[in-house]
Chain A
Amino acid sequence: MAQTGLEQKKLVQDQQEKTEQQMALKGTLASVMILGALIVISWFAMFALFMSRQ
Chain B
Amino acid sequence: MIELSELQKDALGELLNIGMGRASASLSEMVGEEVELSVPKVDTLSQEEAIERIKGLVGDNITAVKESFKGAFWGDALLLFPEEHSLELVRALIKDDTLPLDMLSEMEQEALTEVGNIILNACLGSLANIFQENLEFALPQYSQGSCEDVIKSNTSSETSSEGVLLLQMNFALQKTKVSGYLTLIMDVASMHALSKQLSKYFGGAV
Q: Do A and B bind each other?
A: no
Give residues in A with beta carbon < 8 Å to B. none
Give residues in B with beta carbon < 8 Å to A. none
